[in-house]
Amino acid sequence: MGFGSALVLKGVDLDVWRGEILGFVGTSGGGKSVLMRTILGLLPKRAGLVEVCGIDLDGCDRATHRELERRWGVLFQNGALFSSLTVRQNIQVPMREYLPVSERLMNEIALAKLDMVGLSPDTADKFPSELSGGMVKRAALARALALDPDILFLDEPTSGLDPIRAAEFDELIVTLQHTLGLTVFMVTHDLDSLHDSCDRIAALADGKVIAEGPIEVMLESEHPWLKAYFRGKRARAAGIGGSAVTV
């Protein structure tokens, strides 16, 4: 996968297991979002195979592809809500695309999704510009959940949130994983999310997955980037990779 002569991903090999939260880390600009967009079919790849639920996304017919698209929900970086639509209308976008249900039922589903992500019903008629950063993330999550997906793709869901809101968001993801049996692919830089929410972590460097496993595997790795990331000053301050910094 690349742009022009620049190769971004060079032979990524990664499995995501059903029911797990997989945290995907790597250097800034290393290709995490590009991989997520490639899996979703939003960017063309030059070679390789992407399978979702055991189905080759390039080899299947259009109807099967649409059926698979219905089974995943996506939270893009910064929410990517449509600014000219209310929260309710945003949540209803995937329903209009994939679910032939009545207007009344769509309204009920939208309110149920808002409740699921901890937003009050009066949020439904607000526009994205009227929401706080944390509310935007939750509203975008409600939209990602609109079709009762099996798989959630999250691109830096806690970026821009204060530590309290970020921890709440992490808890919400874990609760949804447990209650709905979701599989979650989460691109993140957030050490707390990686430590508290992820069952496994995969690390991307030089266009490849250099390590994969629970956080202990990351902590034991001697790869220079993983060492700096998981055993550096910030990791220690977060209580990971050694004792927390005390003053």
Ligand X SMILES: Nc1ncnc2c1ncn2[C@@H]1O[C@H](COP(=O)(O)OP(=O)(O)OP(=O)(O)O)[C@@H](O)[C@H]1O
State yes or no: residue 33 binds ligand X (CB under 6 A): yes
CB closer to ligand X, 42 vs 105: 42
State yes or no: residue 8 binds ligand X (CB under 6 A): yes
Of residues 205, 210, 197, 146, the one with CA closest to residue 168: 197
State yes or no: residue 207 binds ligand X (CB under 6 A): no
Report the nearest approach of ligand X to the CB of residue 44 (Å).
11
Which among 31-39, 47-55, 84-92, 170-178 is the span making contact with ligand X, rule CB under 6 A? 31-39
CB closer to ligand X, 47 vs 247: 47
Among 16, 22, 23, 31, binds ligand X (CB under 6 A): 31
Among 30, 73, 149, 207, binds ligand X (CB under 6 A): 30
Report the nearest approach of ligand X to the CB of residue 6 (Å).
7
Among 21, 34, 152, 176, binds ligand X (CB under 6 A): 34
Contacts with ligand X in 9-28 (CB under 6 A)? Answer: 26, 28
Q: Which residues bind ligand X (CB under 6 A)?
A: 3, 8, 26, 28-34
